Chain A
Amino acid sequence: MSLTLALRVAPQVPMEAEALTFDRVADLSESDIAALPLLHGNEKAAVGDFFKVSGRANGEVHLEGDLGRVKYLGAGMSRGRLVIHGNAGMHLGSAMIGGEILVKGNAGDWVGPEMLGGRIIITGNAGHMVGSAHRGGTIGMRGGEIIIHGNAGNETGNGMRNGLIAIGGNSGDFTGVNMRAGTIMALGGLGWRSGAGMVRGSIVSMQPAELLPTFSYDCDYRPVYLRLYLLYLRELGMAVEDAWIEGEYRRYSGDSVELNRGEILLLNRQKLS
């Protein structure tokens, strides 16, 4: 039996729960886990005040209930697997180092901000600032993977330095803004002004997009690495069409206001067989 924390008292105000990460709870008894600290608004509380704890971690920790108001789940996690059966609040997997977080629901803003490694999978939608830098920071996620099956909000991958963000649906405005490197794949559409201020890195979409005038067309080609990425996403359960794997992509380079070494690849839909 794996360790399960089931929400029994819904938080009245936002809750901050860095304690709910695999590393912190994996080796503890039920009573020790129940005594771990939480912050309920401005008031100190304990895990046991809100969660029923049962079982022992066997490589996985399960959180049950609507945790849409619970922030910092899996923050700084370095190993193991955290499965959230329901929605997750803001700052999910903040500065995460390793392991995997699976959310069977939606996630709030700031999924995996300044993440260093590991993998976050969201079966539903995510809010703004996925894999981004915190406000005032310049470097977003530096490694790892964020896989979102639904849509993501604005500023996905703001300041991203490395790693992969894949979005099955649409990504909002300013996707990959100020991006340093790494890959963002928005299989649905891109919002306005994608790649603004990007230095390097790749932004990929299967839909047409209006690009900033500081991006310029280079060529149509079939990037080999994209096939590998798409096959990998298909393995992870994302709906990837054969035509995307075989298809040709229009390459635009930018942002010329910066180094002009970034690329946006848009599936050339006219050449789809």
Chain B
Amino acid sequence: MAENIRTVEHATCTFCGCVCDDMNLTVDLDKHCITKAENACVLGKAWFAEHTIENRPAATIDGREVGVDEAVEEAARILVNARFPIIYGLSDTTCEAQREALAIGDLIHGTIDTTTSVCHGPSGIAFQGVGESTMTLGEVKNRADLVIFWGGNPGEAHPRLFSRYAVTTKGMYIPNGKKDRYIVSVDVRRTQSTPVANLFIQVKPGADFELLWALRALVRGRRLDPSVEERTGVKLDTMKQLVERMKTCRYGVLFFGMGLTMTRGRHFNSGALLALATDLNEFTHFVAKPVRGHGNVTGADNVVSWTTGYPFGVNLSRGYPRFNPGEFTTVDTLSRGDADAALIIASDPAANFPKAAIEHLHRIPVIALDPKATETGKLARVAFCTATYGINVGGTVYRMDDVPITLRPAFESPYPSDQEVLTAIKNRVRELLNKKAKPKEARKAA
């Protein structure tokens, strides 16, 4: 092997919530790129292939190239002077960086939110309201004989979920893999995931809650109006057969996606599914799990939860955490014009948030950290180019089943990590706050 080629075994792909940790990477150290990613799916291969060292300034203020220290100073100044600063993003960085962001939020009495609020935030609300019968993906692989995918398309979005854990893989008590499992897919249309299913149930758009509610009624042996067929587009017989199968399986799993959480009904849709899993535990072992998108969005939930007690949408204005999605979630704080400064980490709200929220981002000072050039980076007062987690930076991420996994970076980056930048901002914020004996006077002077 040539001197400038390196191999990294058991590296981790952080593209999606599967966080596959069996990657064998071949790295060209001269060209600063990964030339081969063994075991990666098509998405993972693209993820590893696209990361090279870009020629961008490490830091800018109003688009002007500056040193990292100067940018840190400006970022800290903005945050300390803000009355309603928000911190957002965090799902594509390490838990170590997330901790630093939380520490900043605590110091500045800010509002902390993650991309969870625009994907599985409703599930977070439902977990609190309904509870969660949960598991690890290892259990699914070894035990699950009934796997139901609801409102998601893992075949395209999480390709190795099928082969590593949930469909074709052989497990301790599932020796024949797919042959020992019954797969159900519930969706509003056929997708690339549909062919793996033994049973496909096409529910009318916007009727997931009604179908879940009907299944709950059947599981509990309660009255059900026949109009349910018309409302959901699913035959009552099909529902009854599914319920029978759910009650008699040995180990059932409900995986659910954003087709459920981001359609009308949101947290009640997730809550209905979680309640169905709970109901089924009267008869057999049944669990439910959201299929998470971003590589470390589960880590963000964990870090925010273990730090504040709540998973996202947390406000610290009073010095203690308060959780209220709708009030403290970023789309809302921006759309209403509440926030007066924003620290955005590894996310691009300026590209995908509603218009009112993006317009407000243009009005307030924004600090952005991202390995890539983004719309948010373009409008930011202070922008940092950071090293990519999992490719250039080690640390910890959480798989979608809340299992922590260690990263093995492939090659070094000239850019600082998110953690390094956030630690520097945190330290400077602390110094500035200590100087601010009389906060109001200091702010007026500024």
Where the two chains meet, the residues of A that have a C-beta atom closer than 8 Å to any C-beta of B are 12-14, 16, 39-43, 69, 90, 109-110, 128-129, 134-136, 138, 173-174, 177, 192-193, 196, 210-216, 256-257, 260
Considering only CB atoms, which chain A residue lies closest to B227 in the complex?
A: A213
User: Which residues of chain B are near A216, meaning CB under 8 Å?
Assistant: 223, 225
Which single member of A16, A138, A212 contacts B213 (CB below 8 Å)?
Answer: A212
**In the complex, are the beta carbons of B210 and A212 less than 8 A apart?**
yes
Residue among A41, A43, A69, A257 with the highest chain B CB neighbour number at 10 A: A257
Give Cα distance in the complex from A272 to B181, angstroms: 57
Using Cβ atoms and an 8 Å threshold, which residues of chain B touch A174? 265, 268
Task: Give the size category of B's interface with A.
Answer: 35 or more
What are the 9 tightest A-B residue pairs by CB atom distance, in nearest-first order?
A41-B83, A213-B228, A42-B109, A13-B84, A256-B222, A41-B84, A213-B225, A256-B223, A42-B317
In the complex the two chains form, what is the Cα distance from A196 to B217 in whole Å?
Answer: 12
Residues of A close to B435: CB separation below 8 A: none
A211 to B231, CA, bound (A): 10
B191 proximal to A (CB < 8 A): no
What's the least CB distance linking A58 to chain B, in Å?
Answer: 33
Name which of B95-103, B160-168, B320-328, B415-423 contacts chain A.
B320-328
Counting chain B CB atoms within 10 Å of each CB, the highest count among A41, A110, A177 belongs to A41
Complex alpha-carbon distance, A256 and B217, angstroms = 7
Partner of A109, one of B217, B326, B338: B326
Contact B217 A13 (CB under 8 A): no
Interface of B is mostly: loop
Chain B 211-226, CB within 8 Å of chain A: the 1/0 string? 0011011001011111
Q: Are A40 and B268 in contact (CB under 8 A)?
A: no
A173 touches B265 (CB 8 A): yes
A90: nearest chain-B partner, CB-CB:
B327
Q: In the bound complex, how far is the Cα of B323 from the Cα of A213, in angstroms?
A: 33
Q: A260: which B residues are within 8 A, CB to CB?
A: 222-223
CA distance A177 to B130 in the complex (A): 13
Query: How far is B309's CA from A136's CA once the two chains are assembled, in angstroms?
Result: 12
Q: How far apart sit A135 and B325, CA to CA, in the bound complex (Å)?
A: 8
In the docked arrangement, what's the CA distance between A215 and B226, Å?
11
Contact call B224/A213, Cβ cutoff below 8 A: yes
Residues on A with beta carbons closer than 8 Å to the beta carbon of B326: 109, 128-129
Contacts of A173 on B, CB cut-off 8 Å?
A: 264-265
Chain A residues with CB under 8 A of B227: 213
Complex formed: what's the CA distance from A43 to B109 in Å? 9
| Interchain CB contact under 8 A, A257 and B225 | no
Contact of B83 among A43, A90, A213, A256 (CB under 8 A): A43
Identify B231's interface contact among A128, A138, A213, CB under 8 A: A213
Determine the chain A residues whose CB is within 8 A of the CB of B209 once the complex forms. Answer: 193, 196
Given pairs A42-B83, A214-B223, A257-B216, 8 additional interface contacts (CB within 8 A): A12-B340, A14-B84, A42-B110, A135-B324, A192-B264, A211-B225, A213-B224, A214-B225
